[in-house]
Amino acid sequence: MPTHVLAEAHGDERGALLAFLEAQRGGMRRAVLGLTDAQAKQQPSASELSLGGLVKHVAEVEQRWLEFAQQREPSVPRDQSSWHLGFQLQDGETVAGTLEFWAGVAAETEKFIRSVPSLDDTFPLPPAPWFPKDARQSMRWLLLHLIEETARHAGHADIVRESLDGKTAFVLVDEERTAREG
C-alpha cells in the first residue's frame, strides 16, 4: 500500500472502516491524476479497462450498494444490455465530472454509515441469481465489501496507469503530495 491509513479513534470501528475505504478511493483518484479525458479513455493493457471507466464503475457500484442498504431503487439501472456502459466514459462524461459525482456518493456513504444505529444492522439483498434467496447483509459487511471492490479496481487502475504512461502508484503519491503542498 503506497499510503498509510491513520489509526482511528480508539474503538471507532466505523471510522476505521471508512478510513480504509477512503484510502482505496484515493488510489483510484491518483490513478487519473494529471490525465486528460482522452487519456483516461484509453485501454493500454490487455484488458478493455480504461481509467475513466474504472473510476465510473467504482462510483456507480458504491452508489448502488448504498441504495441497496437504504432499500432504494438504483439511480443508475444496469442490466446485461447496459452493464458495459458502467465501465466506459460516455459522450459528455468527464473524469472531473465522474470524480465529482463519486465525491457526492462518498459523502452520502459516510453520512449514512455514521447515522445507522449499529454496524450489525442489516438490509435485504435484492432478488438476483447471484445472491442467496432472502439474504441479508450487515452494514459492516457493506463497508468491507466496498473496501474489497474499490481495492480490487484500484489494483487494476495501477496496472492500467503504468501501461499508459509508466507512472506507478508510488510516483503518483509523490505527485499528489507535491501538488497539495506546492
- pLDDT for 150-172, tens place per residue? 999 999 999 999 999 999 999 99
Residue type, 20: F
- pLDDT for 63-113, tens place per residue? 999 999 999 999 998 888 888 999 999 999 999 999 999 999 999 999 999
151: left (phi over 0), alpha (psi -120 to 50) or beta: alpha
Give the model's pLDDT for residue 98.
98
- pLDDT for 15-30, tens place per residue? 999 999 999 999 999 9
**Cell 481509467, residue located:** 51
Residue type, 170: F
| Angle made by CA atoms 12, 17, 19, in degrees to the nearest 5 | 95
pTM: 0.94
Please enumerate in sequence order all residues whose Cβ is within 8 A of that of 80, keeping only pairs 6 or more positions apart, or say none. none
